[in-house]
Structure 1
Amino acid sequence: MLTRIDHIGIACFDLDRTVEFYRTTYGFEVFHSEVNEEQGVREAMLKINETSDGGASYLQLLEPVREDSAVGKWLAKNGEGVHHIAFGTADVDTDSARIKDKGIRVLYDEPRPGSMGSRITFLHPKDCHGVLTELVTSAAASSVAQGTED
């Protein structure tokens, strides 16, 4: 079951300048940053709030590190702006299978590693009214589901 909006992904040309905009305009601070080589992006997660299920909601700012990355291609075509929406789930495997059974194309056969140790998959935007949609199981939820919580 989807439990919350995990994050909104925003594609940008200059991560540092975009982080500074969100810091000075709204007071949001960087909670986590990393380079995801597989996806070809440098990212910053800005925490917006905690959620009742123990997670949080974020803005994810994405700067491509390669022009041939999905975000790089998207930026070249569309310019800066909202790239995707991500919904949190306790079990990305079960929820992506359930959604796939409804005829929605799931872009990865198996969920992949995402930000902050999460597991993710994407749903095809043509099947989601033009919105690239991500499903996310946070690292904390993954460890509880697998019985590895400390």
Structure 2
Amino acid sequence: MNLSHIEHIGIAVKSLEEAIPFWENMLGLKCYNIEEVKEQKVKTAFFMIGQSKIELLESTEPDGPIGKFIDKRGEGIHHLAIAVKNIEENLQELDQKGVQLIDKTPRKGAEGLDIAFLHPKATQGVLLELCENKNG
């Protein structure tokens, strides 16, 4: 595995409009990017903390992954994302080791990253996302 750092922590929220002011006004962070990822039925907002980010996730459809998550568990931490190099090789290695994967091949995520998720059943209940920035 070629892990670099915590890329971001994803937090499911009912409303970006309601959640962003807390992070900006109470914690002093600046939302630097809001983006919709239509394929995942989600709208995201990003904040930098050192080398890592906080990603707020609002469902754009009730049947989207974030909408279902909030219905089942409420707002809160949704996933932990780890920056990697050579995401395809990492996925192959994990697959060969018998790790249950949600994505066997990367897909496009917010901010143009290549992403893939590991199943929480394989990671002690934590949804892990591998991310690779191939543009920088």
Please report the TM-score for the alignment, with normalisation by the length of structure 2: 0.95
Answer yes or no: is the 8 Å Cα contact 2:103–2:117 preserved in 1: yes
Deviations 1:33-89 (A, max 9, x none): 101110000110111113xxxxxx100000000011111100000000000000001
Q: State the aligned residue count.
A: 135
2:11 equivalent in structure 1: 10
- The answer to whether the aligner puts 1:60 opposite 2:61 as a matched pair is no
2:105 equivalent in structure 1: 110
State which of 74, 90, 94 in structure 1 corresponds to 2:69.
74
Q: Distance in 1 between matches of 2:20 and 2:135?
A: 30
- The answer to whether the aligner puts 1:85 opposite 2:86 as a matched pair is no
Structure 1 segment 19-58 matched on structure 2, within 5 A:
19-50=20-51, 57-58=52-53
Runs (4+) of structure 1 exceeding 4 A deviation are: none
Q: Distance in 2 between matches of 1:25 and 1:76?
A: 27
Percent identity over the alignment is 35
Q: Distance in 1 between matches of 2:89 and 2:57?
A: 27
Q: Distance in 2 between matches of 1:118 and 1:93?
A: 13
Structure 2 residues not aligned, in runs of 5+? none
Q: What is the root-mean-square deviation in Å for CA atoms of aligned residues? A: 1.1
Quick one: which amino acid aligns to residue 16 of structure 1?
Answer: E
